[in-house]
Amino acid sequence: MEQTERAQAVLAWRESLITLNDTHFFELLRMYLGEIKTPYNKQKLIEDLSAFLRKDENAQMIVRLLSPNDIVILSAIKILNLPTQEKLSQFFSTDFSFAELYERLLNLEERLLIYRKTEDKQIRFVLNPLLEPKIEPLLSVSTLMPAGNFSGSNHSAYEPSSIFFASVFSLFFHHKDLCKGDGTFKKKGLNFISAVFPFAEQSEGLEFFELVFEGLKNLQLLVQSGANLVPNIERWKQFAALDDVSRCCYLCAASCARFTNDTLQKYAQLVFSICSSVPDGGFSFPVLMRLALLQNEKTPEDFALKKGRLASLLQDIKPVKSPSTQDENGGAPLQTSMFAPNVELSTLVKQIIKMKLLVEADGVFAKSDFFSAALYAHEHNFGESAREPLKGRLSLNPDFSAALIPGADLAEMLPLMQVLSLSRFDTVPVFEISRQSCSDAFDNEMSVAQIKQILQSAVAYEISQSVEFSLEEWEHAYNSVTLYKGYVLKVDKEKRAVIESSSQLKPYLLAVLAEGVYLFNFVDDEEAAEILKKSGLEYIGAVKTSKTVRRPLPFSALRSGENLLIKEPEREALPKNERDNLLSSFYAELENKCLPEEQADGLRSRIRRKIIVNANQLRGESVRFERIEAGGMDFLGKVHVIDHAISTNSMIEISFDEESERIVGTPIGIEKSEGDALLKLCVEPDKKVRVVSVSRAGFIKRIRGAIFKEI
């Protein structure tokens, strides 16, 4: 921290002390400086406290008394950068209850290691700038995220590889009746998928496939066309242009919900950053959640799009409501769907695990072999030159079945998948060429010549004459009966020459149905009117729509180097026995003073809370006896503690027995009745009001200060 920044930080710390009410201010000062005599000056007292912390022996003792849990919390406050109570509660949700976290934060504040700062109308936690240089060597990301000891297999039974995506494309290209009109699978569709994909016979494997299915729909790779769900070929070409790791990350993010383009990129990058930061030893699930939260902290700055033309285009994209609006494939309308807001980080992490980007063994999660290999290729910029060619990978059998050896680029395989229909997905997927599969290719305006060329590009030898003969026979049968959908134009005899010679109309002409009767494939009435007018024909007709064709925006590249640098701290905390020895020396010093019991008890409490760092603090007159806790049958004592908490605007901690969870909250009021009293308590962190029987409470303690709110 630069000198000017350090000075501003120290000033902010001093101002935070000024904002404390007198009760808490003088309680804090007495613990370090002794009894405060009048007349006093708050600024002078704060300067004396600063001088206390600047003494090297005092600062060193504060640091030496830090426990591993202290260091974990201080590391979180440092790395999360001005965290709120809610963020810290979320970060440590699997480690501490709210009451435990509250108590630890309060203790760190009493020990002058942290303070509260108001920013954006929220209370945030900050390291004390006077002590920060001393404790920084103890703080690190590795403290928050200890690596596990992954001892299982990194292999996954199913991987989102190029050959898998190609097979899925073939499945939906050639089997259009797998889904209902609402985009969910029919029962026979699920049965067919289980038969084709053996891993989907198990519930975990079927869950993986359904997750992929949802992602493909939300990425608009599968779109609704009438009652069918079909591949959006232009979108698939964009998807195929990505590398393996980017495809996995985009699909995993999209499996959570449908997002706008900028939000989709944000979550895809977050998936990439989380997975790439997991070490070989892996992380436990709680640590994985911490990693997700830390990576998500980068989101506001790193993923904000510049408000240029591209950002405007992204913001303008809306779901298409008209069922007649067609996409760039010339027939499949885009799905109608609302874009989702942000998703829970826990949902995203669970989707990562379900997709097997991370694999689990004994509660520890590590990168799968597939993701590790894909990540290596991504980080070393392996491009087209490193991709294996399709040539020679396809084996055509006499029975028109075909086996495809994995390893080719997805973009090369897509044209082939429009000819081959998937029969079984295995280590080497099996396909078939049939009259129906070729009919699907003809529907997509492929010719026999193109199909031959596509097949020839994948086999190591010349395709057989029987295959060529069958292709030609199937094309003849396909063309013998043709069903068209389009615009029919009927013109007088004198206008036919204009139609047949027009360069504007020729690209849209599908067929001449009869003399003077023509079939065109205009997108809509508006385009029909415009093209006919340009051709020189007089055409009068109402324009029913004004929809324009929206082509999908390309996927944005994901950035490497987003993983957290997880390195060991420069120093470690003192062993527990050494910390205990330091505390024992203060206890011994206190016993030698022979103070009254009430004063001695108060000072013992300060030693236990590690507030005493110098023997000069062991002053009996600095202790003011206050009853802050009561329990058991002491009904009046419990009521007294509550009344005092209400008058000082303090929180209280309540437990009902040794095994029950402690609850923390702010007392709103107490209603006394015969034999009991009912306490209204605003419970943290959910702020719900709860009514508690005081007589049934096993233990009630007033908590010093009010860490999570303005005083």
Q: Using alpha carbons only, what angle is made at residue 622 by residues 621 and 625, rounded to the nearest 5 degrees?
A: 85
Burial class (CB within 10 angstroms; exposed 0-12, middle 13-18, buried 19+) of 119: exposed
pLDDT digits (tens, 9 = 90+) for 582-591: 999 999 999 9
Residue 175's pLDDT band, with cuts at 50, 70 and 90, is very high
pLDDT value of residue 330:
37
Mean pLDDT over residues 467-482, rounded?
88
Check whether 543 has a pLDDT greater than 60.
no
658 or 393, greater pLDDT: 393
- Residue 85 contacts residue 708 (beta carbons within 8 Å): yes
- Give the CA distances from residue 598 to residues 593, 611, 624, in Å, rounded to whole numbers and listed in that order: 13, 18, 9
Neighbours of 50 (CB within 10 A): 15
Q: Where are the beta strands (DSSP E) in 476-600?
A: 487-490, 509-514, 517-520
Three-state SS at 62: helix
pLDDT at 454 over 50: yes
pLDDT at 226: 73
Mean pLDDT for the chain? 84
Question: 539 pLDDT band (50/70/90 cuts)?
Answer: low
Given a cut of 60, is residue 385 above it in pLDDT? no
pLDDT of residue 532: 80
Domain locations in the chain as residue ranges: 3-140+568-590, 162-382, 394-480, 487-535, 591-703
Higher pLDDT, 391 or 556: 391
Which pLDDT band, with edges at 50, 70 and 90, does 656 fall under? Answer: confident
**562-590: average pLDDT:** 84
Q: Are 654 and 700 in contact (CB under 8 A)?
A: yes
* 366/369 Cα distance (integer angstroms): 9
pLDDT at 415: 96
Most confident option among 236-245, 300-309, 507-516: 236-245
More confident residue, 498 or 113: 113
Separation between Cα atoms, residue 20 and residue 573, nearest integer Å:
31
In the numeric block, which tokens belong to residue 206? Answer: 């079927």
Residue 313: per-residue pLDDT: 32
Q: Which own/partner contact pairs does 193-202 have at CB distance under 8 Å and 24+ positions apart?
A: 195/424, 196/171, 196/422, 196/423, 196/424, 196/425, 197/425, 198/424, 198/425, 198/426, 199/157, 199/158
Predicted structure pTM score: 0.76
Find the DSSP H helices in 325-401: 345-354, 369-379
Residue 689 main-chain phi, psi, to 5 deg = -85, 130
Architecture of domain 591-703: Roll (2.30)
Position 416: which residue type? L
Higher pLDDT, 298 or 315: 298
**Omega into 39 within 30° of 0, i.e. cis?**
yes
Q: Where are the alpha helices (DSSP H) in 522-657?
A: 525-535, 576-591, 597-608, 635-647
User: How is the beta sheet containing 487-490 ordered, strand by strand?
Assistant: 487-490, 517-520, 509-514
Q: Given this model, what pLDDT does residue 387 score?
A: 64
At residue 710, the pLDDT reads 36
Tens digits of per-residue pLDDT, 190-244? 999 999 999 999 989 999 999 999 999 999 999 988 778 899 999 999 999 999 9
Among left, alpha and beta (phi > 0; psi -120 to 50; other), residue 34 is: left
Tell me which CATH code domain 3-140+568-590 carries: 1.10.10.10
Q: Which helix (H) or strand (E) holds 253?
A: helix 244-254
Per-residue pLDDT tens digits for 361-374 = 999 999 999 999 99
Contacts of 424 (CB under 8 A, 6+ apart): 195, 196, 198, 430
Cβ–Cβ under 8 Å, residues 438 and 472: no
SS3 340: coil
User: Using an 8 Å Cβ cutoff, are 66 and 135 in contact?
Assistant: yes
The pLDDT of residue 506: 84
Query: Helix, strand or coil for residue 456?
Result: helix
- Report, as an integer, the average pLDDT of 36-40: 82
Straight-line distance from the first to the last Cα atom of the chain, in angstroms, rounded to the nearest whole number: 29
pLDDT of 379 higher than 90: no
Query: Which carries the bigger pLDDT value, residue 643 or residue 525?
Result: 643
Pairwise CA distance, residues 7 & 14, whole Å: 11
Residue 197's pLDDT is what?
95
